[in-house]
Amino acid sequence: MYDLFLRMTREEILSPKPISLSKTKINEYKSFMNNALIQLAFNDRSTWKYFDETIFKTIDDLRLFAKFRLAKTLLSSFIPKDSLDKNILDLLDRFIELYVNIYSSFTVKYEEKFIIMVKNDTCIDNILYRKGDILMLDEKDVIKYYLLGVLDFIKEPYILEKLHDQGERKQ
């Protein structure tokens, strides 16, 4: 039985910081699974059920690893620079800011739609918007385009002033 993701979960648990996810390990796993799939064609049907179980266990192991890794990364705020999943881990901060912006009531809304600013030229619903354009979007679209990095929330003026003041105090 191939247990790469269980071993990686153990390694993640024992490490003080999130481990670096190795492309070599993942490629080794993919190669193993591809070879197993090829060999499966030459085996009788009774061995297929064992392979099916391996698939389900692997998916469960990978889900456990991902949940633990994401939680650990969120709590430590450390992202390994050379990790294969760096792009995924980089999105975690955007998810947190998304929560703050959507649920804090510090952003400008009108009739349950968010008033947002386009950060760079983008196409939304087949309409081209330019950097600096202001538009209203529902929560579902705001989530999608915020995570893509093409829009930003407009804050209530008082909140914006306080955030600016806090930034000056930190400097």
CA dihedral over 25, 39, 65, 98, signed as positive or negative: positive
Average pLDDT over residues 49-65: 90
With a threshold of 0.75, does the pTM exceed it?
no
Mean pLDDT over each residue of the chain, to the nearest integer: 88
Q: How far apart are CA 146 and CA 163, in angstroms?
A: 20
Confidence check: pLDDT of 12 > 50: yes
Residue ranges per structural domain of the chain: 4-84, 92-170
Q: Which amino acid is at 102?
A: I
Per-residue pLDDT at 153 exceeds 90 = yes
